[in-house]
Structure 1
Amino acid sequence: MGRRDYEDDPNAPAANSLVPAASAVVVDSGGRVLLQRRRDNGMWALPGGAMHIGESLPDCAVRETREETGVDIEVVGIVGTYSNPGHVFAYDDGEVRQEFSICFLARPVAGQLTVSEESTDVGWFEPDEIDGLPMIAGVRRRVNDWRAGAMPATR
């Protein structure tokens, strides 16, 4: 399913759903950040997605990261909350989802990099490499918020 992101765009379609979601800035012991290239829009992104009934938001971040990248994580903090009503995701099936996401800080604990049906590539990137990658503004904001917090990923 294809997806198009609109942020503060007067031509964006009106939202018709609101779904809690989680993402994760996963930072390894060398300070590299885990990213995936999304299959639906071709952009680099943090792992994340919609919360399922019966799970917590941190559990959602752990599950989504494992599903999308093959990496198991431990949540160690919160990067921020993101709920801009002007940021919507329009899907091919007609759903237009308003942004509502918590971005967690996490560290890898196991697993191997693996692409999924949602990603075409996954990898670890130095923070300064991220600036040159194609990425939607909302994801870049999360990475920049993490950078501004300078919060370590390991205890």
Structure 2
Amino acid sequence: MGRREYYDDPAAPPANSLVPAATVFVQDDAGRVLLVQRSDNGLWALPGGGMEIGETLSGAAEREVLEETGYRVRVVDVVGIYSDPKHVIAYDDGEVRQQFAVSFRAELLGGSLGTSGETPRTGWFDKSEIADLAMHDSSRLRVRHGMSRSSQPYLG
């Protein structure tokens, strides 16, 4: 299923859905950030996805990282809360989600780099490499917030 993201765009369709989601900022010992390339839009992003009934949001974050990358992680902190109603994601099936995601910081526990149907490419990237990746502004913001290691989470 394809998707298109809009931010503060008067041409954006109105939201008709709100789904709790999580993204995960995780770094390796060299300080590189784990990123995935999304199959639905080809852009790079932090691993993550929607919360399912019966799980916590932090549990969803850990599950999504494992499913999308092959790595086991443990959530340790909150990077930020992203709920700006001007940010919507339109899907081919007519769903238009208002963005609502919590971005977590996690520590790497183990596993090995893999891919999934949602993430045909995954990898570890240093700050200079991230600057050159095709990435939506909202993903770039979350990476920047994760790298800043602020003592207070972003609230927006």
TM-score, scaled relative to structure 2? 0.94
1:10-25 map, 5 Å: 10-25=10-25
Amino acid at match of 1:129: E
Runs of 5+ consecutive residues of structure 1 not aligned to the other structure: none
Q: RMSD over aligned Cα, in angstroms?
A: 1.1
State the distance in 1 between where 2:105 and 2:128 align.
Answer: 18
What secondary structure does 1:24 align onto?
A: strand
Please report how far the alpha carbon of residue 28 of structure 1 lies from its aligned counterpart in structure 2 after TM superposition.
1.1
Q: Which residue of 1 aligns with 2:137?
A: 137
Q: Distance in 1 between matches of 2:87 and 2:138?
A: 8
The CA deviation at 1:17 is: 0.2
Correspondence 1:108 to 2:137: no
Q: CA deviation at 1:112?
A: 1.1
Deviation at 1:150, TM superposition (A): 5.8
Aligned with 1:119: secondary structure?
A: coil
What per-residue deviation string (whole Å, max 9, x for no partner) do you get for residues 66-106 of structure 1?
11111110111111000010101100110000000000001
Percent of counterpart pairs with the same letter?
Answer: 54
The letter for the 2-side match of 1:65 is: V
CA distance in 1, matches of 2:100, 2:48: 12
Structure 1 segments of 4+ aligned residues over 3 angstroms from their partners:
none
By how many angstroms is 1:111 displaced? 1.1
Where structure 2 has 5 or more consecutive residues not aligned to the other structure, the ranges are: 152-156
Distance 1:76 1:29 in 2: 16
Residue by residue over 1:85-138, the C-alpha shift from the partner in whole angstroms, topping out at 9 and shown as x without a partner, is 010110011000000000000121111111100011000011221111110011
